[in-house]
């Protein structure tokens, strides 16, 4: 009879002892565990498993990397394709509304807001999309001699929507008792336009749709400060831009309009993530490479508030800060309201986001900062103190220059009776590098819970404020000082040096704060009798 090794020797050798210990540890844990794990859990399978996992990771990562490369390639092709379209016939111009009776000793002139709007209506072949705050073009309660241009725009829209069968879509702020938007109600009733209203109290808890924009056939656009009000055409100083045959800009602005249109539906809510169809390729880190009037530019559109920004969209605040931070020589700003606070919060709250960057530009980089702010019956008392705080940094160190002037539109006794008129309503900024044209006043509310848009443009290769009328870059790109940026700089200089401005320090030397309140017809508690409602300033 054959004996086992153990029976023959009476003991285990070293190799058999190791095997016995292995069996004790791994094989004597119960039948169920044995059947569950014994099929793969061996020492020899550990390195095999590691190798297998590494192979899987390599394959997965290569696929992910390939998908990323494909996305980058598609984006590059789209950018090149859009550039070709925009490089052909794109034309852009600044447009202004100069209040009746306002005369400048300057040759700087631009097309009127009224003419720009007429051109957009006439160019329309299929559709007109409008983002708006409120409507008061056809004001039957006002003197018909004053409202002629507003009434004409209203009639042209009515005719376009009825006789010409142009599809008109209007996204507007929700009407209220104070601002019933009779114009859009009439357009809707006549089947001339589809109208949707955004309820910001419901969507954001506060705020308004403060945008003023046109998108025509996804080819032509207007962005600016002018509301859809007859006063914006003849009684308020406005500034905007019009772009003709700029498909890339128009399609991108159309995506912002689509956000408004979606949110104008009943029971609409802001989604956690916007559909990919509303995403954009263009922002401050990836601007459009396009050509206006034969000059090459980098450009993009910004939007506020942040929850309204789809993937890729630069927020309006980030756009403004980026333009300020990139300036090396000067930052010139023209706005109706400037306040480092949340004006319509109750009580108001400190909001230094823009203010800090202006102070940093002046102190850290020696950038010349100029602010041109509106002076009118509705200027807030806090405005003077905030502006003085900023200007007090002037000359605190060598080469620190911060200057503030107030712009007051002159008025006849009759013109002073027109409500919410005779004011510099501009909302723009220009540096030696870039131009920014927006729709928002510069206080925190307009960037946190209120909707607005901005247009940023930088002439390619234009890194200085040279006054040469024509230059060539090393790459042969045509550069001219007669471009969008320089045109905006000339408007600022015209206004800054006009007879309608008064330096802030001169104002304080001439009046104390109480005298200013009497002069403006305001009181110390006028600031925020309306609480958090922005409709107190609805025509601003």
Sequence-separated (6 or more) residues with CB below 8 Å from residue 258: 277, 278
Q: CA angle 89-165-128, nearest 5°?
A: 45
Q: Give the pair of three-digit tokens for residue 61.
A: 């990562």
The β-bridge partners of 436 are 429, 456
CATH fold of 71-537 reads Endonuclease; Chain A (3.30.870)
Q: What is the pLDDT of residue 70?
A: 63
Helix (H, G, I), strand (E, B) or coil at 351: coil
Residue-level pLDDT at 41: 54
Give the Cα separation of 279 and 491 in Å (integer).
Answer: 34
- Whole-angstrom distance, CA of residue 181 vs CA of residue 174: 9
Query: What is the structure's pLDDT at 468?
Result: 37
**What's the pLDDT score for residue 106?**
84
Q: Which residues of the chain have pLDDT under 50?
A: 1-38, 40, 463-481, 523-532, 535-536, 538
| Residues annotated catalytic, as ranges | 210, 212, 217, 425
Half-sphere exposure of 368 (CA within 13 A, CB side): 7
As a whole number of angstroms, the distance between CA 270 and CA 277 comes to 16
Give a three-class secondary structure readout of 473-537.
CCCCCEEECCCHHHHHHHHHHHHHCCCCEEEHHHHHHHCCHHHHHHHHCCCCCCCCCCCCCHHHH
The encoded tokens of residue 185 equal 């109600």
Q: Tens digit of pLDDT for each residue in 96-130?
A: 999 999 999 888 899 999 999 999 999 999 999 99
Q: What is the pLDDT of residue 244?
A: 95
User: 529 vs 343, 444, 525, CA distance in Å?
Assistant: 11, 18, 7
Residue with tokens 């409507």: 135
At residue 532, the pLDDT reads 40
Q: Are 150 and 229 in contact (CB under 8 A)?
A: yes
Q: Which two tokens stand for residue 384?
A: 């003077």
pLDDT given for residue 47 in this prediction: 74
What is the C-alpha to C-alpha distance for residues 444 and 321, in angstroms, rounded to an integer? 13
Per-residue model confidence (pLDDT) at position 293: 76
Cis peptide before 347 (omega within 30 of 0): yes
The pLDDT of residue 178 is 87
* Residue 96 backbone phi and psi in degrees, to 5: -135, 155
Phi, psi of 527 (to 5 degrees): -45, -50
Nearest CA-CA partner of 274 in 247, 306, 251: 306
Tell me what pLDDT residue 72 has: 55
The answer for residues whose C-beta is within 8 angstroms of residue 511's C-beta and 6 or more apart is: 519
């Amino acid at each position: 009879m054959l004996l086992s090794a153990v029976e023959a020797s009476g003991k285990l050798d070293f190799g058999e002892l190791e095997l016995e210990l292995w069996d004790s540890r791994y094989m004597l844990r119960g039948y169920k565990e044995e059947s569950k794990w014994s099929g793969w859990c061996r020492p020899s399978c550990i390195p095999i498993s590691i190798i297998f996992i590494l192979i899987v990771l390599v394959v997965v990562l290569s696929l992910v990397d390939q998908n990323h490369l494909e996305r980058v390639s598609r984006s590059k092709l789209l950018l090149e394709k859009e550039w070709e379209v925009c490089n052909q016939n794109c034309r852009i111009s600044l447009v202004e509304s100069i209040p009746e009776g306002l005369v400048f000793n300057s040759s700087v002139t631009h097309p009127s807001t009224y003419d720009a709007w007429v051109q957009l209506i006439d160019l329309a072949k299929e559709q007109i999309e409008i983002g708006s705050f409120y409507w008061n073009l056809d004001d039957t309660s006002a003197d018909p001699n004053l409202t002629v241009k507003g009434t004409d725009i209203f009639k042209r829209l009515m005719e376009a929507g009825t006789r010409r069968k142009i599809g008109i879509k209007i996204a507007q702020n929700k009407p209220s008792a104070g601002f019933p938007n009779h114009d859009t109600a009439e357009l809707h009733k006549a089947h001339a336009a589809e109208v949707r209203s955004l309820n910001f109290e419901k969507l954001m808890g506060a705020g308004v749709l403060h945008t003023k924009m046109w998108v025509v056939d996804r080819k032509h656009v207007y962005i600016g400060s002018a509301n859809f009000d007859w006063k914006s055409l003849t009684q308020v100083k406005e500034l905007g831009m019009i772009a003709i045959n700029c498909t890339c800009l128009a399609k991108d602005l159309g995506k912002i309009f689509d956000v408004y249109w979606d949110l104008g539906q009943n029971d609409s809510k802001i989604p956690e993530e916007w559909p990919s169809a509303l995403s954009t390729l263009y922002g401050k880190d990836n601007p459009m490479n396009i050509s206006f009037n034969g000059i090459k530019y980098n450009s993009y559109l910004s939007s506020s508030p942040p929850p309204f920004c789809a993937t890729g969209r630069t927020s309006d605040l980030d756009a403004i800060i980026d333009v300020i931070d990139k300036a090396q020589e000067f930052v010139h700003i023209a706005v109706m309201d400037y306040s480092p606070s949340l004006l319509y919060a109750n009580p108001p709250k400190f909001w230094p986001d823009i203010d800090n960057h202006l102070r940093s530009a002046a102190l850290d980089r020696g950038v010349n900062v100029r602010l041109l702010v509106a002076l009118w019956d509705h200027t807030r008392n806090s405005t003077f103190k905030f502006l003085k705080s900023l200007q007090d940094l002037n000359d605190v160190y060598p080469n620190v220059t911060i200057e503030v002037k107030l712009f007051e539109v002159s008025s006849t006794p009759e013109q002073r009776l027109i409500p919410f008129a005779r004011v510099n309503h501009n909302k723009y900024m220009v540096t030696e590098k870039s131009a920014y044209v927006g729709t928002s006043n510069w206080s925190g509310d307009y960037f946190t819970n209120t909707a607005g848009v901005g247009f940023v443009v930088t002439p390619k290769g234009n890194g200085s404020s040279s006054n040469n009328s024509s230059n060539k870059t090393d790459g042969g790109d045509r550069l001219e000082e007669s471009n969008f940026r320089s045109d905006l700089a000339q408007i600022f200089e015209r206004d800054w040096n006009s007879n309608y401005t008064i330096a802030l320090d001169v104002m304080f030397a001439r009046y104390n704060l109480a005298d200013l309140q009497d002069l403006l017809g305001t009181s110390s508690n006028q600031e925020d009798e309306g609480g958090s409602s922005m409709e107190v300033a609805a025509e601003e």
